[in-house]
Amino acid sequence: MIDWSRFPGSLDWATHLPLLMACVGVTTGPVLEVGAGRCSTPVLHAVCRAQRRRLVTVERDPWCFDHLHRHYADQGHEFHRGYECLPELAGQAWAVVFSDESPGSRRAETVRLFLDVADFIVIHDIQSPEIFPPIAPLIADCWSRRDADYPVETLAVSKRCSLIS
């Protein structure tokens, strides 16, 4: 059993879930989570497990990795520690790549790596001046939807797909 009190913050940070789940819901393939935690990891684990979809979680922080890996790793849910694995994972096709890793400035590199191989990339905290400006030129020709219904905003982008409004 995970001791969630060891993860500071609350489910208030889960503002990525509506757009993330919309992208997961219109696809069927594997899902990559970059940056784990109490909001996204349990939900992605449950949905991907129920739908028999491959889920890969990449987490850099050793404590966070150990706790979530111990509880959630199974045949359908792989964990990788550190970002060094990302270039190799970008050699595979993904339905959804969720970018919520620290530091936020890293997320532009995740978008750059996966834009050609993912149906959708979902990026959290996109209102942050540290996060969006380096991503903007990478997605100039892409379909995108920004969920600004919450103070912490989320962006979904795709080179080849869209969500029907």
Ligand X SMILES: C[S@@+](CC[C@H](N)C(=O)[O-])C[C@H]1O[C@@H](n2cnc3c(N)ncnc32)[C@H](O)[C@@H]1O
Q: Which residues pair with 157 in a beta bridge?
A: 121, 144
Interface positions, 57-76, toward ligand X (CB under 6 A): 59-61, 64
Interacting span for ligand X (CB under 6 A) from 4-12, 127-135, 136-144, 157-165: 4-12
- Cβ neighbours for 114, distance < 8 A, ≥ 6 positions apart: 32, 90, 94, 97, 121
Could you say whether residue 40 binds ligand X (CB under 6 A)? yes
Interacting span for ligand X (CB under 6 A) from 39-47, 82-90, 108-116, 129-137: 39-47
Interacting span for ligand X (CB under 6 A) from 36-44, 110-118, 128-136, 149-157: 36-44
User: What would you measure as the largest C-alpha separation in the chain, in angstroms?
Assistant: 45
- Cβ neighbours for 81, distance < 8 A, ≥ 6 positions apart: 58, 59, 60, 62, 65, 69
User: How many of the other CB atoms lie within 10 Å of CB of 12?
Assistant: 10
Interface positions, 84-143, toward ligand X (CB under 6 A): 100-102
Q: Which is nearer to ligand X, 25 or 160 (CB)?
A: 25
What whole-number distance in Å separates Cα of residue 59 and Cα of residue 81?
Answer: 5
What whole-number distance in Å separates Cα of residue 86 and Cα of residue 60?
Answer: 12
* Burial annotation 85-111 (CB, 10 A radius, 16+ → b, else e): ebeebbeeebbbbbbbbeebebbbbbb
Q: Which is nearer to ligand X, 100 or 109 (CB)?
A: 100
Q: Which is nearer to ligand X, 90 or 131 (CB)?
A: 131
Report, in Å, the least distance between residue 30 CB and ligand X: 17
Site string for ligand X, 5-34 (x = CB under 6 A): --xxx-------------------------
Chain residues binding ligand X by CB under 6 A are: 7-9, 35-41, 59-61, 64, 100-102
